[in-house]
Amino acid sequence: MKILSRLGRLMRYTVAYAAITHCTFEYIGDFVLCKGPSMEPTLYSDNVLLTERLSKHWRTYQPGDIVIAVSPINAGQFICKRIVAVSGDQVLTQKPSPIEAEYSRSQDGAAAGKKPVMTKDYVPRNYVWLEGDNKGNSSDSRYYGPIPVGLIRSRVLCRIWPISEATGL
């Protein structure tokens, strides 16, 4: 009887702590491990970030914020990018060159008689324009366009690992 009582109490504490942990990570903030070179030199692979989810209720996202969002290309993957523009802002970008252009380059690396194409876009209402800090190695809004604010999962507060590089972002 004593064992059943202890087991019951252990189960109640386990369920309570699991619920508190779930609510904390789902509604307040969590930790994110970065992978990939798209945010270099600001963030590197294997950096651990502290993120928060509360500020979206009292402030809007602003250019310069680094956010974690659901990838618009693969819903099972998260991306870490910087907000460059918000609803109503104009974005002037050089569209990434298609793969065919890579094969038609001359010996010195320049495109065969073509200048880069600059396009002007406006960010629609309730959308943001995301870009990686490493423009040459980032799949971002230049490829898939602006993303809905609803895909943003959290905003990065600071880097906490490695400790020697811990800093607010």
pTM of the model: 0.75
Give the residue from 11, 97, 82, 92 showing the smallest Cα distance to 41: 82
CA proximity to 45, closest of 36, 57, 32: 36
Task: Tell me what pLDDT residue 13 has.
Answer: 94
Supply the residues annotated as catalytic. 38, 81
pLDDT per residue over 109-168, tens digit each? 555 556 667 778 889 999 999 998 888 888 888 888 899 999 999 999 989 988 787 777
Token pair in block for residue 165: 């590089």
- Round to whole Å and give the CA distance between 69 and 92: 22
What is the CA angle 90-94-99, rounded to 5? 140
Q: Do the Cβ atoms of 89 and 96 come closer than 8 Å?
A: no
Mark residue 36 as left, alpha or beta (left: phi above 0; alpha: psi -120 to 50; beta: remaining).
left
Mean pLDDT of 42-55: 90
Q: What is the mean pLDDT of residues 11-34?
A: 92
The Cα–Cα gap between 141 and 95 comes to: 10
Report pLDDT digits (tens) over 52-91.
Answer: 999 888 888 999 999 999 999 888 899 999 999 998 888 8
Residue 103, pLDDT > 60, answer no
CB atoms within 10 A of CB 85: 21
What integer pLDDT is reported at residue 48 of this predicted model? 92
Q: How high is the pLDDT of residue 140?
A: 87
Task: Return the H-helix or E-strand segment holding 81.
Answer: strand 78-86
pLDDT value at 98 more than 70:
no
Q: Alpha-carbon Rg of the chain, whole angstroms? A: 21
**Residue found by looking up tokens 């050089």 in the block:** 94
pLDDT (0 to 100) of residue 153: 92
Mean pLDDT of 11-19: 95
